[in-house]
Amino acid sequence: MTSVRVLDPGEWPLWRALRLRALEESPSAFGSTLAEVLARDAELYWRAGVSAPMVPFVAETDGIGAGMARLMFPAQPASTAELISLWVAPESRGRGVGHALVAAAVDHLAVHHPATRLRLAVVESNAPARALYTGSGFGVVGRNPEDDAELLMERRAATRTTDADPAPRSGREGARVRREGSRDR
């Protein structure tokens, strides 16, 4: 069974392990490189990455990290949050983990920031990620002005996915998700 939970800042070593693995296995999916991140490899750096204004989510299957994602809120109150750092371990792909991570982020917004839209940037050639986001209610709103290889996608503010859409929208068997311990930023 897969569970998704908000990561506590004290659990930064788990985030570090997942992030380093993600950068190693999927380097083209991120704006940072493994070398850049390793150059900043210190507890303070990792704690900042899992503390407000970030809300980090981790997916675990049988207690092992299966994926990660973060919500990033702007410094000033705004109507849009950003979904960043989403990654699913290769052995967990096709099992609903990505949908579960997106659903956890949407649920968090619905509970804690109900009028907030959710935006993300995705490499245009990353068809599996684009399919995940489209199936999760995102639509393309334009090109990323900071990176021409990326598309910006957005979804409107929504009610909780667990109330409106409990199953992943793919035809595959999805992960059974238990959401734990949400906390506000």
**Token digits of residue 157:** 């503010």
Percent of the chain at pLDDT > 70 equals 84
Query: What's this model's pTM, rounded to 2 decimal places?
Result: 0.83
Domains of the chain: 2-178 (3.40.630.30)
Count CB atoms within 10 A of the CB of residue 44. 9
Distances (CA, A) of 170 to 123, 134, 174: 20, 10, 8
Percent of the chain's residues with pLDDT above 90: 70
| Long-range CB contacts for residues 133-138, cutoff 8 Å, separation at least 24 | 133/102, 135/99, 135/168, 135/169, 135/170, 136/99, 136/102, 136/103, 136/106, 136/169, 137/106
pLDDT digits (tens, 9 = 90+) for 54-90: 999 999 998 899 999 999 987 776 779 999 999 999 9
